[in-house]
A = this chain, B = another copy of it.
Amino acid sequence: MDLSKLGEFKLISRLQSKLKYRSPQVIQGIGDDCAVLSPNSGNYQVLTTDALVEGVHFNLKTITPEQLGWKTLAVNISDVASMGARPKFSVISLGIPKRFSVNFLDRFYKGLNQASQKYQVELVGGDTVSSPKCMFINLALLGETFKRKVFTRSGARPGDRIYVTGTLGESALGLKILESPGKKWKGSKTCRAKCIRRHLKPEPRVEAANWLSRSQCRVTSMIDISDGLTQDLGHILEAGKVGAELFESELPISKAFIKYSIINNLQPLDLALGGGEDYELLFTLRPEDVKKIDIGAITQVDQPVTQIGEITATKGIRLISKDGRSRTLHRQMGYNHFKGKE
């Protein structure tokens, strides 16, 4: 069925019926000029927004509508998690060319609903408009901190330890695989599938973020890795006017990932340091609190949390290789929207 047969109002009510998660803090959801929310008193709130454009942020030839729905919410949740907050309420806007089918939107909302249920975010409103020339999505997400505890980019001090959740580089490798379907990709199909999944259906680290915000650990800065470890660490260093040493041997990259990269003539280290879209948390911690993480994280959070380096007074990022040699990493710029890769 095409969109023009259904019409705007029926379409909205059809899509709305796919969203199952209900928050006790929502007084009134979709259906009026605004949603009505009841914030918990004593907490701060965090607010973020992200726009995704077809052909720029996603390619409908390689991502399914379900994955796109999931990812739209997941990337915003990652921003909320990086502040140490819980995602709560969301509004979504869709700009849709008429050529899109109702089936596409049904599937998009199915993925959106999956992420909404998993991360307990209620979609409380939105705007569905026709956009003749391009499809775009915008999502705005409101979250709540634990009390007034919030992690920002600034605050890292020399001596602080640098941590990262999960593993690095797989999403970037997944994107490379998707972008070159004609290339003969050799090696493990399991690794290949994992990398693609990590790119198309990222899992933001809400659990780790909330464990940290409720813990006694003095997290001095935090960011999520969307543009690549080097660039996002760069934001922390710039905000704190400090530098960093990273230990190559400590970077959380799996053996299977290294093997798959090398077999296909790719540098696993480049992918891990500059790849982007990992949606892992990168944070710094006072050195006295290292033990708290080591004991706590392993038993209470579903992701590994790895110490990968240390904040230094000397600016710049130095990578200490396995044989003890040091080299300066040039901060990769990642994706610049009006210049392409720099």
Name the contact of A35 in the complex, choosing from B46, B53, B132, B133 (C-beta under 8 A): B46
Whether A131 lies near B33 (C-beta < 8 A) is no
Interface string of A31-52 (1 = CB under 8 A from B): 1111111110110111111111
Residues of A153-170 whose CB lies within 8 A of B: 153
Whether B91 lies near A49 (C-beta < 8 A) is yes
Whether B49 lies near A140 (C-beta < 8 A) is yes
Name the contact of A7 in the complex, choosing from B34, B51, B79, B339 (C-beta under 8 A): B339
Name the contact of A130 in the complex, choosing from B56, B128, B131, B133 (C-beta under 8 A): B56
Contacts of A38 in B (CB 8 A): 44-45, 148
Contacts of A145 in B (CB 8 A): 36
Interface string of A56-75 (1 = CB under 8 A from B): 11000000000000000000
Contacts of A31 in B (CB 8 A): 153
Name the contact of A51 in the complex, choosing from B45, B46, B127 (C-beta under 8 A): B127
Name the contact of A45 in the complex, choosing from B3, B39, B224 (C-beta under 8 A): B39
Beyond A8-B338, A41-B41, whether A125 also contacts B35 by CB under 8 A is: no
Q: How far is the CA of A153 from the CA of B34 in the complex (A)?
A: 10
Q: Report how many residues on chain A are interfacial, defined by Cβ distance under 8 Å.
A: 72
Whether A273 sits at the interface, judged by CB under 8 Å, is: no
Contacts of A39 in B (CB 8 A): 39, 41, 45
Contacts of A148 in B (CB 8 A): 38
Could you name 17 residue pairs across A and B whose Cβ atoms are closer than 8 Å?
A: A7-B336, A9-B336, A11-B338, A32-B152, A32-B153, A33-B80, A33-B82, A34-B85, A37-B45, A37-B46, A49-B93, A49-B127, A53-B130, A55-B132, A56-B129, A56-B132, A134-B134
Whether A295 sits at the interface, judged by CB under 8 Å, is: no
Q: How far is the CA of A92 from the CA of B38 in the complex (A)?
A: 23
Residues of A107-129 whose CB lies within 8 A of B: 124-129
Whether A4 sits at the interface, judged by CB under 8 Å, is: yes
Whether A262 sits at the interface, judged by CB under 8 Å, is: no
Beyond A37-B44, A95-B51, whether A83 also contacts B130 by CB under 8 A is: no
Contacts of A136 in B (CB 8 A): 51, 95, 131, 134, 136
